[in-house]
Structure 1
Amino acid sequence: MQQYISLDDKYLSAEGIITALVELAQGRGIPLHKLLRGTGIFEQDLYDLSQCFSLSLLLALICQFKTLMKSNDSGFLLGHQLVNDVSPTMQSVRLSPTLGAALKQLQQIRATLAPLFFTRGHIFQEDFYLYLQPSIGMDESLKSYCFEIYSAAFISLLKRVSSHYPHCYFDFTCKRPRHIQEYEQHLGLRVRFEQPYTRWHFDKQLLKCANSESSALRWQQSIAQSELHKNVSQSFVEAVCQRIYRDKNNSLANSAEYFAMSPATFKRKLKQHGVSYSQLQDEQNKLKALHLLGVRQQGNEQVAERLAFYDIPNFRRAFKRWTGITPSQLKI
């Protein structure tokens, strides 16, 4: 049975977001001991290359960073800093020959480089869509902050590997923030809030853009250095979500059996990660319905059948519960 990353599994190195966060905080004059206080991370851990960190430790560090930085743009700055990381893992993405190759590489090493979220990509007609979902349960404030970090990192990566300015659309589930100017400064003007999903969206032709910084030799060297084949994995929450999304007839009992657990153990493990099975099931159904209705322009009957709703009124009621609007309002 495949092993999945749990909240307290120590597998992350200090390279990547932890180092980027520490460097940015120190550059703003925040003492290291103050940044690490109460996080469960100690200064000597950062210098020990054999030391590993868990998702729970990373979240504690991000919360401390957010509190101490006391600025509305700290998440965006951290995202840009992350892309400037010189570790082999980050280099294997930045030196990719095209944006498409960079995103493919990022997907393979996401659990190491961007462990707090996972993405689901779709190409339809002339557009490329990436839907973001948390790998673990988070409150809305922390989730929005982490979305700021990774959205800034994403646009920074787009600018690096694209030959011209990339026009990207950002949709967020959170309410319009007071610090809207920081969103527009770091992400551009194509930003929307109070959407039923968190999504990045751009012209699919960008995927073929040649990366002027790419070096075939250095790219392959960075891949070899980072030993990516050992790092390909999923968080437990991501694995459950992927299974729900693929199979419309998944019940809690069936999923528990798939993960070789009793239903009670399965529910308890999800609760440890801050989520419930019904919550994940609703979210996956919502995302699938939104994409099929809003992007692919399928009818209610087709989408209801894809989601195992054989009664259209029940599907409409469920859709309104998920999104606050009806399917017809989405199409308008």
Structure 2
Amino acid sequence: MTELPWAALPPGPAAPHYELDQPCLAYADQAVLLAEFARSRGLAEALPAETPPLISPRRLLALLAPLQERGGPDAAFVIGRHWLPGHYGLASQALQEAPDLVEVLRLLCALAGRLTPLLTPRLLLDERELILVWTEACGLPPGQRGFLVDLHMSAVAGLADWLGGQRLPWRFSFNRTAPRDLAQHAVHLGESLAFGCQADAMRLDLAWARRPWPTRAGGRAAAALARGADPQAGRRGLLAALHDRLLPRLDQAPTLDELAAGFGMSPATLKRRLAQHGTHYQAELDQLRALVALYLLRLRGQPNEAVAEALGFFDGANFRRFFKRWTGLRPSALGR
């Protein structure tokens, strides 16, 4: 398969995956931030009467819903600006100790289960730029996806501004139609906004991302995490864990039976779990193939036949039919 420039993740012990209805997120992490925002907007009635020590991703989504509906047009961006580095123990400390933005994003991808448990970022690096693609960790209601993408993009942009001491010239792509009013996006993210794209992604010239930041504490938190000081920091949502297994093998994708064995469950159980997360095996495989095809065609300028081979299609015609069905576009319609 064509080698993709995925950024290598820092080494660390493997962690189990988590699922949509599994109480696995500390209430003291993201939920406390949401409670503070709710009070600041006069939405105290949206807060839960009880605050259990652990909540599920679905419960976190439920806490976000009234803030999306009644928190104001800037809610996603304001919450996002406080989301990172956050108060998530060693994971937050590791972000603050990183020497530059590239290392921050590597850590963010590796520690997504702790830092961004609802969306998982994927980092691509080449000689010119970096691309941070946002993918689902364990399933999202369609009506909340746009809000959460805005929140997470604002979180990363705000973190980079704070650590680097200046606003960076990010370019943002959104896999949805443009809202009628772009004022909040422009204020919080800048003017480089593209809607109607096939991926939710942030792009930045690599020269900006490699600029060293003021000397920090030498990466002690990242080293502690690599030694297993926070075993849960590296966990992945079920869909993110599935993507981890598929991405290196898109040319010879593992079967559902092989994936189920890797998860320690039967194929029927994996199918049922994926259905509970609003998806199925073929949909996740096709989504990843489409994302990689977009990268290889548009940004790497590879011909259809090479991309088809890299993704495991028998011929170019079969690949073109797949690409048109998934993206609504012919491969030839993509310009560099």
Write the distance in 1 (CA, Å) between the matches of 2:224 and 2:252. Answer: 40
Summarize the Cα distance change of 1:209–1:229 in structure 2 as closer, same or farther, 3 Å threshold.
Answer: farther
Q: Deviations over 1:265-298 (max 9, x none)?
A: 2110101111111210110110111111111111
- The equivalent of 1:318 in structure 2 is 322
Secondary structure of 1:231 counterpart: helix
**In 2, distance between residues paired with 1:285 and 1:77?**
33
Query: In terms of mean alpha carbon deviation, does 243-252 or 83-92 score higher?
Result: 83-92
SS at match of 1:298: coil
Deviations 1:239-285 (A, max 9, x none): 11222222122232332233333322211010111111121011011
1:216 aligns with 2:229: no
Query: Deviation digits for residues 151-175 of structure 1, max 9, x if unmatched?
Result: 1101101111225431101100011
Which residue pairs with 2:10 in the alignment?
A: none
User: What is the aligned partner in structure 1 of residue 237 from structure 2?
Assistant: 235
Residue 126 (structure 2) aligned to one of 124, 133, 136: 124
1:246 to 245, 248, 262: 248
- What's the CA shift for 1:2? 6.5
Match for 1:13 among 20, 23, 26? 26
User: Hey, what's the Cα distance between the residues in 2 that align with 1:36 and 1:161?
Assistant: 31
Specify the alignment match of 1:29 in structure 2. Answer: 42
Q: Name the SS of the counterpart of 1:85 in structure 2.
A: coil
Residue 135 of structure 2: which of 108, 130, 133 is its match? 133
Q: Which amino acid aligns with 2:230?
A: L
Q: Deviations 1:48-93 (Å, cap 9, x if unpaired)? A: xxx1221111111111322231x11101110012236345342331
Greater relative contact order (Cα 8 A, min sep 6): structure 1 or 2?
2
Measure, in 2, the Cα distance between the counterparts of 1:11 and 1:103. 23
1-structure distance, mates of 2:207, 2:163: 13
- Alignment identity in percent? 28
Match of 1:136, SS state, is coil
Cα distance in structure 1, aligned partners of 2:248 and 2:290: 13
Q: State the Cα RMSD in Å.
A: 2.3
Report the Cα distance in structure 2 between the residues aligned to 1:44 and 1:279, rounded to whole angstroms.
Answer: 36
Partner Cα separation in structure 2 for residue 131 and residue 184 of structure 1: 20
CA distance in 2, matches of 1:54, 1:44: 12
Normalising by structure 2, report the TM-score: 0.87
Instruction: State the shift of 1:139 in Å.
Output: 2.9
> CA offsets per residue over residues 171-210 of structure 1, 9 Å max, x none?
0001101231111111000111010111110011223223
Separation in 1, partners of 2:240, 2:77:
25
CA shift in 2, pair 1:139/1:187, >3 Å = same
Structure 1's 125 and 2: CA in aligned 2 closer, same or farther, altered over 3 A? closer
Are the equivalent residues in 1 in contact too, given 2:97–2:221 (CA < 8 A)? no
User: 1:52 and 2:65 equivalent?
Assistant: no
Q: From the superposition, tell whether residues 85 and 263 of structure 1 become closer, same or farther in structure 2 (CA, over 3 Å).
A: closer
Partner SS state of residue 39, structure 2: helix
Which blocks of at least 5 consecutive residues in structure 2 are unaligned? Answer: 1-13
Q: Pick closer, same or farther for the CA change 1:239–1:309 going to 2, 3 Å.
A: same
Q: Secondary structure at the match of 2:203?
A: strand
Aligned length: 318
Alignment of 1:109-258 (within 5 A): 109-212=111-214, 215-216=216-217, 220=220, 227-247=229-249, 248-250=251-253, 251-258=255-262
Counterpart in 1 of 2:7?
none
Aligned residues of 2:100 and 2:213 also touching (Cα < 8 A): yes
Asked if 1:67 corresponds to 2:80, the answer is no
**Unaligned residue ranges in structure 1 (runs of 5+):** 46-50
Q: Distance in 1 between matches of 2:298 and 2:222?
A: 39
Runs of 4+ displaced beyond 4 Å: 221-226
Contact preservation (8 Å) 1:256, 1:266 = yes
